[in-house]
Structure 1
Amino acid sequence: MTERIPTRIIETADTGKTMRLTPAKAGGPIHARSFHGMFRTLRLLGAGLLFVLFFGTAWLDWNGRQAVLWDLGARQFHVFGTTFWPQDFILLSAILIIAAFGLFFITVLAGRVWCGYACPQSTWTWIFMWAEKITEGDRSQRIKLDAAPWSLDKLLRRGAKHVIWLAVSLLTAVAFVGYFTPVRELSAGLLNLTAEPGPATWVALFAAATYLNAGWLREQVCLHMCPYSRFQSVMFDSDTLNVSYDAARGESRGPRRKDSDYLAEGLGDCIDCTMCVQVCPTGIDIRDGLQLDCISCGACVDACDEVMGKMGYARGLVRYASERSLAGGKTHLLRPRLVGYGLVLLAMIAAFIWALGERSLVSLDVTRDRTLYRENGAGQIENMYLLKVINKSQQTQHYSVGLQGAQPFALQGPRELTLAPGEISDVAYSVALVEPSRVAATHEIRFTISNQNDPAAWDSVSSTFIAPAIR
């Protein structure tokens, strides 16, 4: 029998409902056992997709440049065929809000599955655990190796593991930093030792962070550093699907022969093999109830289903189930909270797509000269302005500059501008007051800029014209 872990009770979102949260047992390193099953396959597919996206996207080219590049120096953020500027950061805020509501939605629906299937911390931890397995063996072999005195065999196995860890960490850091500086130049510079100190330092820092997080901290990041584990229970209700142990079916637990009449002996389906504990990456016993440390990876489900199959029992002793279904009721998938999060999520996605489509590919900024006004050769009052024009597209564009409702003002300066992709141009203009009797001492004027080939791409900015007061 395994040692039972003390539990503590907290309230969930449903009034009057409680769930047990138990801390992981303190002790030495967790050695998770290898296993097979449907949820492991799903996790491998998710991790494989994440790896392909993370490592592959950094090396993609698009129209002669890196497809995804956050060029902080130039303040240009290239995402395939679109270039974003600091003026577009409101769209980044929208993406973060969408991600937050997506996390809320999936948590209410199926608990902490993000952590078990898609979180980079969990994914990289599985990779590092795989490196342990191929160098030090499965769980029992690693436990024996930990207890064994240092020898040449132990040194070689540990050394090989850390070499793989460091290699994965370095590749991860190069790919990550490669999203902020051209990855081909970065890789070539690191290989021939000519990389700039700044990018090289960031590669070293991120490699060290990956090595520390996935190799040494592992579940401690999920338990003590990630805020999600702390507030997830607030979002649970009695219909949330969580990895759960069916105590009504499993208790009383105990070992038995495969062909024994265990029901006559007063035993449930749980044979107390502890396989669910041995495969858990956070080292918990799912039979003690819903726990703070559970990342809903489904490892215990696969392990238990395999044991149930060998014993000839029905699968699902440990499964994704709601509190309501475990109590004999029916899980309600469509419920007000879930529908509400879903509607808000869809609305935010629709608003983001609309804003992205309506985003102007030309930006105009106007700065008025500090001089109040001056008189030109024709005796007209003039104000000076500096127009900053940004071509936010990835093609050369031709623009027309003007004043909206120009009378009684005249714009003096180039009326047509040609800007290369991503070019920023500062152009000086003057505005002359043609009919002084028609305005007061100050007047609002509006500068406009439009794309000659695409009238829908335009921008306008207002400024102030100052003239002598007319009595």
Structure 2
Amino acid sequence: MSNEIPVKQVDPSSGASDNKKNTGTTDLYASRKKIYVREVRGFFQRIRNVSLTALMGMYFLFVWISVDGQPLIYFNLPDREFHLFGITFFPQDLILLSGSLIICAFGLFFITTLFGRVWCGYTCPQTVWTFIFMWVEERIEGSRTKRMRLDKAPSSRSKIAKKSAKHAAWLLIALATGLTFVGYFYPIYDLIADLFTLNANGWAYFWVGFFTVATYLNAGWMREQVCLYMCPYARFQSVMFDPNTMVVSYDPNRGEPRGSRKKGVDPAELGLGDCIDCGQCVQVCPTGIDIRDGLQYECIGCALCIDACDEVMDKMNYPRGLIRYTTENELEGKPSKLIRPRTVGYGLALALMVLAMGYTIATRVPATLDAERDRGALFKFNGQGRIENTYTLRIGNMTEVPQTFTISVSGLESIQILTDKVITVDSSEYRTLPTVVDVDPEVISSASNTIEFTMTSETDPSLVLETESRFVGPNR
């Protein structure tokens, strides 16, 4: 028996007409065949329930939480402000957003190299909402067998009631999803009030409706079609796999040849493997594949087939693990390596980027100061015989509270500010302040001199801003 992961050879002309069989062609599009997923309980399903509860809890609760009167997460697109966990980011912080996306990408590569598509199986939004919709369907229409009989049954009052209840529940979940998503861009309390009093603008209604319909269709009707045909990750994931990657696999060395038998019979006496060919692993698969056919791109790594097979093995008094998370090397009897060049490379790159991002955020000054000298005039002498230069100070407050700044200037002896030295800047506000500076001409030794403006917050003394500029005087 071969030690390699078996691959099923599929005849592309199977199920086609006689003419297609002769020509070896097949339709480019086939109608979706509905998949009836059987409910299963087990270790990996419990893990998914925890991750699902945590992710859905964060998604639906964070939008309602405020910190110092500011939403915990709020993307204020009109004012170009992004509030995340008490920190306000602005368009000039785009580098941080880019860094975050790069970190997420490398994190996905790193995890995929180690453990395959665990992202798809446990945390992907499509998976999370699909499993919620399947749970609702199971509660209303019954088990897999009952759902199949219900769909084949003629229309009746009971069937219409169950179908209507299911779709109504799906639509309510989809509506809550749409409202919550828009609530991250439009304060949720205002959004709910404005929607139901018809005071919201048309875009608010459009986006709530759009995400409601998208959730209803993706999780209720399309389901595995999104994973198989719309998600690019399903296609390029293979470049991150190697023989040491942990994937959900069937062990043919132990399971083949498969066949039914009575409980308590030694399969070796019948010349059979441990697989009793019950089909439970296929019935619980949300993408409708048979994991026994080998590694397939359709597999999302949800491990429902592992739970189903372990349940059968327990009933037959066979050891668990006929289907399990394993590596190609392990199935071939070779040692598996967790630490290898690819994982080390991804891990180091990820660690360095996380450290760099953390340092950038930790040292980020939540305010900005820029000084621009008036280019319309070089300098002038005032009534006291001192040399004046005019500047425009631009101050930005990226904190969550108003800041009152005291302004000072240094760099030349006897230099002073003639205009306002105190300014209050509201939260998320940018202000400009015309400023006039003068100096005794006796202390100027060159036509251009470096000076420094300093702004110290009276609200938060630890917040100190500094910027350099040039003071222009007569050439000596």
TM-score of the two chains, using structure 2 as the length reference:
0.86
Whole-angstrom distance in 2 between the partners of 1:247 and 1:43: 27
Whole-angstrom distance in 2 between the partners of 1:291 and 1:466: 72
The aligned residue for residue 10 of structure 2 is: 6
Name the aligned partner's letter for residue 10 of structure 2. P
Structure 1 residues 149 and 384, CA gap change in structure 2 (3 angstroms)? farther
The aligned residue for residue 127 of structure 1 is: 132
The aligned residue for residue 212 of structure 2 is: 207
Q: How does 1:362-441 map to 2 (within 5 A)?
A: 362-369=367-374, 371-373=376-378, 375=380, 377-378=382-383, 383-406=389-412, 411-432=417-438, 435=441, 438-440=445-447
- Compute the displacement of 1:101 (Å): 1.9
The aligned residue for residue 170 of structure 1 is: 175
The aligned residue for residue 70 of structure 1 is: 75
- Compute the displacement of 1:72 (Å): 2.0
- Given that 1:399 and 1:449 are in contact with CA atoms closer than 8 Å, whether structure 2 keeps it comes out as yes
- Compute the displacement of 1:360 (Å): 0.5
Structure 1 residues 368 and 339, CA gap change in structure 2 (3 angstroms)? same
Q: 1:104 aligned to 2:109?
A: yes
Q: 1:267 aligned to 2:272?
A: yes
Name the aligned partner's letter for residue 329 of structure 2. R
Superposed CA RMSD in Å reads 2.7
Q: How does 1:332-347 map to 2 (within 5 A)?
A: 332-347=337-352
Whole-angstrom distance in 2 between the partners of 1:463 and 1:73: 32
- Compute the displacement of 1:120 (Å): 0.8
Whole-angstrom distance in 2 between the partners of 1:345 and 1:404: 43
Q: How does 1:247-258 map to 2 (within 5 A)?
A: 247-258=252-263
Name the aligned partner's letter for residue 205 of structure 1. F
Structure 1 residues 204 and 385, CA gap change in structure 2 (3 angstroms)? farther
- Compute the displacement of 1:435 (Å): 3.4
Name the aligned partner's letter for residue 225 of structure 2. Q
Name the aligned partner's letter for residue 145 of structure 1. L
TM-score of the two chains, using structure 1 as the length reference:
0.87
- Compute the displacement of 1:172 (Å): 0.7
- Compute the displacement of 1:299 (Å): 0.5
**Counterpart secondary structure, 1:438:** coil
- More off after superposition, 428-437 vs 161-170: 428-437
Q: How does 1:184-333 map to 2 (within 5 A)?
A: 184-333=189-338
- Given that 2:412 and 2:439 are in contact with CA atoms closer than 8 Å, whether structure 1 keeps it comes out as no
- Given that 1:58 and 1:66 are in contact with CA atoms closer than 8 Å, whether structure 2 keeps it comes out as yes
Name the aligned partner's letter for residue 362 of structure 2. G
- Given that 2:99 and 2:357 are in contact with CA atoms closer than 8 Å, whether structure 1 keeps it comes out as yes
**Counterpart secondary structure, 1:263:** helix
| Identical pairs, percent | 46
Whole-angstrom distance in 1 between the partners of 2:202 and 2:463: 41
Deviations 1:10-34 (A, max 9, x none): xxxxxxxxxxxxxxx9751211111
Name the aligned partner's letter for residue 188 of structure 1. A
Structure 1 residues 201 and 380, CA gap change in structure 2 (3 angstroms)? farther
Name the aligned partner's letter for residue 323 of structure 1. E
Name the aligned partner's letter for residue 255 of structure 1. S
**Counterpart secondary structure, 2:435:** strand
Whole-angstrom distance in 2 between the partners of 1:435 and 1:147: 97
Name the aligned partner's letter for residue 192 of structure 2. S
Whole-angstrom distance in 2 between the partners of 1:165 and 1:5: 38
Whole-angstrom distance in 1 between the partners of 2:253 and 2:412: 81
Provide structure 1 residue ranges, at least 5 long, that are not aligned to the other structure: 9-24
Name the aligned partner's letter for residue 264 of structure 1. E
- More off after superposition, 367-376 vs 247-256: 367-376
Structure 1 residues 398 and 253, CA gap change in structure 2 (3 angstroms)? same
Whole-angstrom distance in 1 between the partners of 2:472 and 2:143: 80
Name the aligned partner's letter for residue 218 of structure 1. R
Query: May I ask how many residue pairs the two structures share in their alignment?
Result: 451
The aligned residue for residue 22 of structure 1 is: none
The aligned residue for residue 24 of structure 2 is: none
- Compute the displacement of 1:302 (Å): 0.4
- Counterpart selection for 1:56 from 44, 51, 61: 61
**Counterpart secondary structure, 2:48:** helix
Whole-angstrom distance in 2 between the partners of 1:457 and 1:208: 47
The aligned residue for residue 113 of structure 1 is: 118
Whole-angstrom distance in 1 between the partners of 2:227 and 2:473: 64
Structure 1 residues 234 and 7, CA gap change in structure 2 (3 angstroms)? farther
Q: 1:354 aligned to 2:359?
A: yes
Deviations 1:202-248 (A, max 9, x none): 21111111112111221121122222112211111111110000011
Deviations 1:290-325 (A, max 9, x none): 111111000000011111111111110000001111
- Given that 1:366 and 1:388 are in contact with CA atoms closer than 8 Å, whether structure 2 keeps it comes out as yes
- More off after superposition, 151-160 vs 264-273: 151-160
- More off after superposition, 112-121 vs 344-353: 344-353
Structure 1 residues 458 and 6, CA gap change in structure 2 (3 angstroms)? farther
Name the aligned partner's letter for residue 463 of structure 2. A
- More off after superposition, 406-415 vs 259-268: 406-415
Whole-angstrom distance in 2 between the partners of 1:370 and 1:147: 82
- Given that 1:446 and 1:461 are in contact with CA atoms closer than 8 Å, whether structure 2 keeps it comes out as yes
- Compute the displacement of 1:36 (Å): 0.8
**Counterpart secondary structure, 1:271:** coil
Whole-angstrom distance in 1 between the partners of 2:238 and 2:8: 22
Provide structure 2 residue ranges, at least 5 long, that are not aligned to the other structure: 1-6, 13-29
Structure 1 residues 466 and 227, CA gap change in structure 2 (3 angstroms)? farther
- Compute the displacement of 1:166 (Å): 0.8
Name the aligned partner's letter for residue 401 of structure 1. I
- Given that 1:410 and 1:434 are in contact with CA atoms closer than 8 Å, whether structure 2 keeps it comes out as no
- More off after superposition, 403-412 vs 110-119: 403-412
